Amino acid sequence: MGPRREAGPFPWEGETEPVKSLFGKLADGTKVHRWSLENGGTRLQVLDWGGVVQGLEIPDRKGRYANVSLGFDNIDDYVARTPYFGALIGRYGNRMAEGRFTLDGETYQLSVNDGVNSLHGGTQGFDKHIWDVEPFAEGSDVGLVLHRTSVDGEMGYPGTLKAKVTYTLTRHGDWIIDYEATTDKATVVNLTSHVYWNLAGEGSGTIEDHELTIEASRYTPTDTGLIPTGELATVAGTPFDFRRTKAIGRDIRDGHVQQVQAKGYDHNWVLDKGITSKPEHVATLRDPRSGRTLKIATDQPGLQFYSGNFLDGTLTGTGGRSYRQGDALCLETQHFPDSPNQANFPSTVLRPGQTYRTRTVHTFSA
């Protein structure tokens, strides 16, 4: 017997192709649309605003669905208040020290939006633009292809960058993200997805009892501004060791200096596999109560684990409940933060004639 279908906001009963609906309007009257798609027991809702994953439903061990991603039920909150709920991040995911980098002898000043630093592409990153969306249903897959052109100089980044991101749901219920980009001038690129996960269901409370495994022996410590120091530190003997499965809350209050300044976990793990030609398994997240499990595979060298430290109860989500500290976590596949300013980190430079390509696979079970 398959998972039970229950009444909810996901309007796709009997549909095999993505369904488009009006989600809201921006202040200037621009319409924001939501796309709903389902395959293999996974239900996904995506906005053309920022490529935002507005909802993602998967069943528990008893076949009961829950939305496991944090989000809002209106566009106004996404525009004014979101901490990147479900967003596509670019041009550069994570932080850039003092909002600047030097490439080929030229220094570029970026948009600064996190103290003196630049975060997730600046004040008007990829998450704050309307994307062109094309739905598809090919073979046993359904999905969306999102396109956006970032002009030369946008948020201070050089080069006109043409970005293409594909969200695919497979017949097995896997959610695959394929990122592509080309440029007409040397630049730096680091695209990622900023879904906030709670496998017990959004608004259900803490994720500290979720069990996590990360295939990484090292991580990148940060300074007080959460910029990597350049060190690749061992996780052995520290709260950052997730090589064996453990509850997130087990060591989160250990008082390690890195935890104190980040208010929990907000660090990049250096994946043991490094950069690979195809996605390899790097992390497993499980909610013991529901049995819901998420496995992540990627070709990227890093994984940013953020434990929802800055959620403070002031945001109300899709289910009508407030989100408090530790009510969700992010697992962002990526290159390392501040790589353009760190000579010993893998390069994020993209040049004309090259194509930036990366894939991340999310596999769900219960």
- Which residues partner with 102 through β-bridges? 107
Tell me if 280 sits within 8 A of 303, measured CB to CB: no
Please give the C-alpha separations between residue 15 and each of 10, 36, 39, 45, 233, in angstroms, as whole numbers.
11, 10, 10, 14, 49
| Strand, coil or helix: 260 | helix
CB 237 within 8 A of CB 197: no
Which residues participate in catalysis according to the annotation?
194, 332
Q: How far apart are alpha carbons 67 and 353 in whole angstroms? A: 41
Sign of CA dihedral 270, 359, 164, 54: negative
d(CA 331, CA 296): 9
Q: Which of 182, 194, 282, 269 is nearest to 232 (CA)?
A: 269
Instruction: Determine the Cα–Cα distance for residues 37 and 56; give it in Å rounded to an integer.
Output: 10
Q: How many helices (H) and strands (E) does the chain have?
A: 2, 29
